[in-house]
């Protein structure tokens, strides 16, 4: 309207004061915090998702937060601060890095360190602590648990190393498979036409050897072929029981006793039932072949937890234990590698396939053995995996 004044400035939306504390209102109060003091700083550092550790130049612990306690596996005590750091953090690798920082001109930034004996991997950054006069009075370490990341990277490195070998093995296997089949068929035809027992025995040996070679070719193809998981809720006890029966057909069981103990509260897991059956079949077959028809195999399955660098995950732990001859340390280090075998007629792929299946299920495998005592293989599988595309090379 003419003569009406309009403010050219844009209108601001009305202020919502519903969350502001007013007398008689039920809105939550906002605590007043002095952000300029040391108290708020301590809250910030204590709540960080990274580990924080500080040491004085005299070697005493100046600060440590909850995440650092968790990573190092140390229980907090009220008098930790001010004590010698070596009395609290009993991790030689960390102590060596901290004490050596005072002699370094260039401190580590985003470096990695493997801790013993926990085998955890941390990524860390070091900084010198200086006072108001620029004198070095201590050193601080900021770090993060990279164990899970390191495991995934190691799997990727293993897959890269096997990629070229896999392509070559697949090409050779396909080329060898057809001649082997031809040898087996022609030897069978020839055996039916000859009458001399000694000639028939030679031809039978040829057929037997051709079948064994063909079996090795099949294992090679199975090893280099990518695993495509068909994930479903799977009962571990079914996979284990089926594996014991299948192993009895692949190897001579003899008088070997097999005990299976599965916890009553064992959860079902998200897994490929066929692949798990193959995994346990290979383990039990390996035990049968090593024990020469005598001894005992014990298979147990219990609930477990696996560390993933965050809050951990529910898992299932399966142990296959035998009282066979065991293995020497140099042999044990190589048993999960492809084409390594101590058997006269083995392909060396059984345990390599086991490891491949475990990796595909985002699990862990551990071997404990000693010559003359026996072997224990522990498989840890998460209840819920991270099978993004269900395909693993």
Of residues 183 and 46, which shows the higher confidence score?
A: 183
Fold of 148-225: Helix Hairpins (1.10.287)
Range of weakest confidence among 78-87, 275-284, 351-360, 376-385: 351-360
Is cis: bond before 98, omega within 30 of 0?
no
| Superfamily of structural domain 38-145 | PAS domain (3.30.450.20)
Range of weakest confidence among 57-61, 124-128, 209-213, 316-320: 209-213
Of residues 141 and 23, which shows the higher confidence score?
A: 141
Query: Is the pLDDT at 21 greater than 50, yes or no?
Result: no
Structure tokens at 71: 């990573």
Query: Is the pLDDT at 278 greater than 70, yes or no?
Result: yes
Cα 141 from Cα 131, distance rounded (Å):
17
Residue 384 CA from chain centroid, whole number: 14
Contact 352, 291 (CB under 8 A): no
pTM for the structure as a whole: 0.48
Cα 280 from Cα 253, distance rounded (Å):
15
Burial class (CB in 10 A: 0-12, 13-18, 19+), 315: buried
Spans of all domains in the chain = 38-145, 148-225, 228-393
Of residues 287 and 20, which shows the higher confidence score?
A: 287
Exposure b/e, 77-112, CB count within 10 A at least 16 = b:
eeebeeeebbebbebeebeebbeebeeeeeebeeee
The per-residue pLDDT for 326 is 86
Range of weakest confidence among 61-65, 209-213, 326-330, 385-389: 385-389
Range of weakest confidence among 4-8, 37-41, 157-161, 204-208: 4-8
Pairing of strands 257-262, 296-306: parallel
The per-residue pLDDT for 99 is 87
Reported as a single tens digit per residue, the pLDDT across 85-131 is 999 888 888 888 898 888 877 787 778 888 877 778 888 889 999 99
Cα 293 from Cα 94, distance rounded (Å):
49
> For every residue of the chain, which 3-state class applies, written as one string?
CCCCCCCCCCCCCCCCCCCCCCCCCCCCCCCCCCCCCHHHHHHHHHCCCCEEEEEECCCEEEEECHHHHHHHCCCCCCCCCCCEHHHCCCCHHHHHHHHHHHHCCCCCCCEEEECCCCCCEEEEEEEEEECCCCCEEEEEEEEEECHHHHHHHHHHHHHHHHHHHHHHHHHHHHHHHHHHHHHHHHHHHHHHHCCCHHHHHHHHHHHHHHHHHHHHHHHHHHHHCCEECCCEEECHHHHHHHHHHHHHHHCCCCCCEEEEEECCCCCCEEECHHHHHHHHHHHHHHHHHHHCCCCEEEEEEEEEEECCCCCCEEEEEEEEEECCCCCCHHHHCCCCCCCCCCCCCCCCCHHHHHHHHHHHCCCEEEEEEECCCEEEEEEEEECCCCCCCCEEC
Cα 157 from Cα 168, distance rounded (Å):
18
CATH number of 228-393: 3.30.565.10
């Amino acid at each position: 309207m003419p003569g009406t004044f309009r403010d050219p400035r844009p209108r601001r939306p009305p202020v919502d004061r519903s969350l502001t504390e007013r007398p008689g209102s039920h809105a939550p109060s906002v605590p007043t915090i002095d952000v300029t003091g040391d108290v708020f700083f301590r809250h910030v550092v204590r709540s960080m998702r990274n580990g924080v550790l500080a040491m004085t130049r005299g070697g005493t612990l100046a600060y440590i937060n909850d995440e650092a306690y968790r990573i190092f596996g140390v229980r907090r005590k009220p008098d930790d601060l001010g004590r010698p750091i070596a009395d609290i953090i009993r991790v030689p690798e960390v102590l060596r890095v901290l004490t050596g920082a005072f002699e370094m001109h260039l401190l580590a930034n985003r470096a990695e360190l493997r801790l013993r004996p926990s085998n955890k991997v941390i990524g860390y950054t070091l900084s010198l602590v200086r006072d108001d006069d620029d004198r070095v009075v201590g050193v601080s370490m900021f770090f993060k648990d990279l164990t899970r990341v390191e495991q995934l990277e190691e799997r990727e490195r293993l897959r890269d190393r096997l990629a070229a070998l896999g392509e070559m093995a697949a090409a050779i296997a396909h080329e060898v498979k057809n001649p082997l089949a031809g040898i087996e068929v022609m030897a069978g035809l020839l055996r039916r036409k000859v009458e001399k027992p000694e000639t028939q025995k030679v031809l039978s040996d040829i057929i037997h050897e051709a079948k064994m070679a063909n079996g090795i070719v099949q294992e090679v193809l199975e090893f280099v072929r990518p695993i495509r998981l068909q994930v479903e809720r799977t009962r571990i006890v079914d996979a284990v029981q089926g594996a014991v029966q299948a192993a009895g057909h692949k190897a001579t069981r003899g008088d070997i006793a097999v005990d299976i103990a599965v916890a009553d509260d064992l959860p079902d897991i998200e897994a490929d039932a066929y692949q798990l059956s193959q995994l346990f079949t290979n383990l039990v077959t390996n035990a049968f072949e090593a024990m020469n028809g005598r001894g005992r195999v014990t298979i147990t399955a219990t609930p477990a937890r696996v560390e993933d660098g965050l809050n951990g995950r529910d898992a299932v732990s399966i142990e296959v234990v035998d009282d066979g001859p065991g293995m020497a340390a140099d042999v044990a280090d190589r048993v999960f590698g492809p084409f390594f075998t101590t058997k006269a007629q083995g392909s060396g792929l059984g345990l390599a396939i086991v490891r491949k299946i475990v990796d595909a299920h985002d699990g862990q495998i551990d071997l404990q053995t000693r010559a003359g005592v026996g072997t224990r293989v522990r498989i840890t599988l998460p209840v819920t995996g991270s099978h993004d595309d269900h395909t693993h090379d």
